[in-house]
Structure 1
């Protein structure tokens, strides 16, 4: 759908196809727009240097850590993403992963499929009923997760870059103090240099032996070797992970653990939501080249930079 719509409006170069890199090189002096996605080629200084006429980078997804947005901003290039349209889907997935991890639902299903129910009942699981959930990152998706936890009757606390006056939940000034005061931590902070490895060995130790970590943010937010060690030594109880440091390469140590729940980065991966994300990516490009500016520019690249340059 995306390529069909873009192809009707723009001349497309598909970099990932055979011969795409050669076509990109030939057209580079004339390229004015770029569509990008997490998992695709990084949009870094080297690529930006090759595209002197570039005006806009439309990113498919709310996270855009694969783009050097600061470098784009210095060149007057606008970067857009797809916020809002995936908020509820990712929040749904976060709650599904949380419940699956706490109640050990994937393990229970494997138990049944293996025929073990004939031998004995599945062991009793932990519960959400006696837990306090900390949220790392209280942006759009963090707030949507908190609303769902309210409906479940689960107490919530949070840490983010700033405290929010409109938030009724306890705020902690750093991740360690948040982890000390909760037993379940959901990460939904953006992947930035500031958040890299923010959930480290100290945070995991503070979470404690009843601790459960849910990561629906970016793999870079968690110190993955520290998490593996914490799970091996039972420093924390369990983890539910939708994202990893080097996707799609998941550490063998995690795959071998039966007390964790692992998903292949499917937080927004529903047909309805992916179509909405695709449409917003297209709409940003069309709006820009129609002279109406971008619809959802990211903070690092205010769209006026491009027009005033």
Structure 2
């Protein structure tokens, strides 16, 4: 079993050498001739998998991408050639959801929102939108879902129209980039939608830049009555329009899903897909490679109440992940020169809530315990 894997895949050597003869390649260096004896190919979104790349891959059995998106893979070609493929859909869902939560808590700190008086319009109810809805439920923040394809497919959750989602105090986009078909998302949020946004609204895009008319958004944000906007994604990455950054409350460089767990989970999912294809047992788990952070001592101010205050939640959750730090670093780097790709590659260590154990002293209400476990924490009573 000959495996080629992109060198940027976290712990790729550990995972793939356990399966067979594994060899890495640097991003941008893979050539058709490298695939002549390749059985399994593992990539990230930085390697386009096209018919021309696979022209000499006569024994290729499977392609796996250790990323949630698949726009870089010609899945139609793979299907026509009888080559299996797999993605790591959902690998970064928790991280992106926590990114949005950090924005909401910063907005609360800045008196832009009152969490118990808003509704979040989640546009896209897939892996990320679902993860976000679960966190919002634990935070006692109302939300609505918009996702016509899932609604048509019989998803039994309650859905609203795009217009209703766009009327919410907070709008959070979590849709894939689809150019055509029945439900295309290219420029789904167009100039007319953006013109209708009000100054009190908070607009967040942490999915793909191309789902928003960026020129129209830029023009809208330069007006006096502009909404507040936060972007993690842009058109023409990595050569983005840096002038747009001046109009954004927070800006980051496509790192919303870049937690340590999110990236390693992508490797784990592709490793498992290869194991399944080979009908061999899955011997490695993420815990084999993750160091546990130090426990956090945490005691609610009033352990008898059924929910933490938003001040307590803000203090706890922003101590783990504060978007303001990523915004600061990103703006500094982009002011020096356009180092968008380098910023992503050298992104700092970031852990998800589920990596942490909270050490609670004394008796805490069932409501608070449910809230903390719903946010992903492991709890330990002293």
**Smaller-chain TM-score bracket:** 0.7 to 0.9
Give the Cα separation in 2 of the matches to 1:244 and 1:55.
Answer: 34
Which deviations, in whole Å up to 9, do the C-alpha atoms of 1:91-127 show, x marking residues without a partner? 1122113333x3476xxxxxxxxxxxxxxxxxx5444
Among 9, 12, 16, the alignment partner of 1:2 is 12
Deviation at 1:197, TM superposition (A): 1.4
Q: Does the 8 Å CA contact 1:213/1:240 hold for their aligned counterparts?
A: yes
Structure 2: stretches of 5+ with no match in the other structure = 1-10, 282-382
Task: For residue 150 of structure 2, give the secondary structure of its aligned residue in structure 1.
Answer: coil
| Structure 2 residue corresponding to 1:247, chosen from 227, 237, 242 | 237
Q: Which of residues 163, 171, 174 is equivalent to 1:176?
A: 163
Match of 2:42 in 1: 35
In structure 1, distance between residues paired with 2:83 and 2:52: 14
Distance apart, 1:129 and its partner CA: 4.1
Residue 261 of structure 1 pairs with residue 250 of structure 2: yes
Shift of 1:66: 1.5
* TM-score normalised per structure 2: 0.62
Aligned pairs for 1:114-129 (under 5 A) are 124-129=111-116
> 2:32, 2:57 within 8 Å by CA — same for their partners in 1?
no
Residue number among 255, 278, 285 corresponding to 1:289 in the alignment = 278
* Unaligned segments of structure 1, at least 5 residues: 106-123, 293-309
Tell me if 1:223 matches 2:210: no
Aligned pairs for 1:35-74 within 5 A: 35-38=42-45, 40-74=46-80
- Distance of 1:248 and 1:127 partners within structure 2: 35
Q: Which moved more, 1:227-236 or 1:214-223?
A: 227-236
Q: Partner residue of 1:12? A: 23
RMSD of aligned alpha carbons: 2.6
8 A contact 2:220–2:226 mirrored in 1: yes
C-alpha deviation, 1:134, in angstroms: 0.8
Asked if the contact 1:156–1:170 (Cα under 8 Å) also holds between the matched residues in 2, the reply is no
**SS of structure 2 residue aligned to 1:226:** helix
* CA positional deviation for 1:84: 4.2
Q: TM-score scaled by structure 1?
A: 0.75
SS at match of 1:149: helix
SS in 2 for 1:278: helix
